[in-house]
A and B are shown apart, each in its own frame.
Chain A
């Protein structure tokens, strides 16, 4: 069965968000907890900045839920780098168990689905689900160095500089009315897209109108 339903309806209590300067220049800027003017976030490398953003999002989500770190049972998070290193390193700062996940662009949805399943089953009361990415670290990992004078096609997409986290809790633990009622787990489909710049076409294919 591809879609699972959560009978106990786990609640989304709060969120914590942070975004880079390019993201904040648009509509998103008004809604984030913290907008960065410096995409290094005061760190010496982009990877460290990504890690710090993720840690910020987790802390902020807990703070917005008016909880303390002691009350969190589990952290589920991931990122785009090798060995999900940002998520693992961000988890060092917290004194609760950590479950690392990788789903590229779907990491946030994946971590929320897993968190909801854990809470629904009653194993945990409060879980933080989070993810983060950084444009510059992703470019280095998947494409070309930043200073390389190559052209980007107009349809190319940008990896977000930012991080987000949510606290998911049992309905008895909070008065939030936002519930996760179901999750649909996607299949891996390969439609033969090989363009590294066109991430959307590869990762979120629209199947509706294509004739086989």
Chain B
């Protein structure tokens, strides 16, 4: 079986396989993502008030300090084996915030520690976050250039 025939066959097979998949519960998923994502954002906002009120930070310093604390929390929870459990239930709610990014760097670091600190942990640390960084920097540069000439 080749060409068009094969394509049709595959299409029918994939449709057949998908008919057995339990339906995605969009509402439940969105609701959970909203709750958990919102909660993480609330923690961020809470930290903002604290740093602003107690330490008198403002502007870039303030957002930098909040990010640092959130990244620390994300990494800590990953290390304690809690973050992946939150992620299983929250989905995008815990992947999208900066804590999710911390998790995506910390989790391969833990996973590949067994292969050594240099060739294992350090080399494989960015297997999940690497593409985000590469295309993030690239997109940032392009937008910056466009902004420069406009």
Contacts and interface: CB of A to CB of B under 8 A. Distances in A.
B88 A149 contact: yes
| B interface, size bucket | 35 or more
Contacts of A145: 107-108, 110-112, 128
A148 B114 contact: no
A151 B81 contact: no
B8 A148 contact: no
Interface centre among B20, B103, B111 (most CB of A within 10 A): B111
B87 A192 contact: no
B5 A148 contact: no
Nearest to B85: A149
A150 B110 contact: no
B20 A155 contact: yes
A64 B9 CA distance: 47
Interface string A178-212: 00000000000011110000100100010001111
A155 B88 CA distance: 14
A146 interface: yes
A155 B12 CA distance: 18
Given A155-B22, A211-B12, A147 B106 contact: yes
B83 A205 contact: no
A201 B20 CA distance: 10
A149 B83 CA distance: 6
A144 interface: yes
Q: Is the interface of A mostly helix, strand, loop or mixed?
A: loop
A212 B5 CA distance: 6
A147 B10 contact: no
Interface in B50-99: 78, 81, 83-84, 86-88, 90-91, 94-95
Given A149-B88, A154-B22, A201-B17, A192 B10 contact: yes
Contact of B95 (A149, A191, A198, A201): A149
A201 B94 CA distance: 29
A140 B124 CA distance: 11
Nearest to B13: A191
Contacts of B84: 146-150
Contacts of B107: 144-149
A46 B113 CA distance: 12
A144 B95 CA distance: 14
A148 B112 CA distance: 13
Given A144-B128, A145-B107, A150 B87 contact: yes
B110 A147 contact: yes
26 contacts: A45-B114, A140-B111, A144-B128, A145-B107, A145-B128, A146-B84, A146-B107, A146-B111, A147-B78, A147-B84, A147-B110, A148-B107, A149-B84, A149-B88, A149-B90, A149-B100, A149-B103, A150-B95, A153-B21, A191-B9, A191-B10, A192-B11, A192-B13, A192-B14, A212-B5, A212-B8
Given A149-B88, A151-B91, A211-B12, 5 more contacts: A144-B128, A146-B111, A153-B21, A153-B24, A192-B11
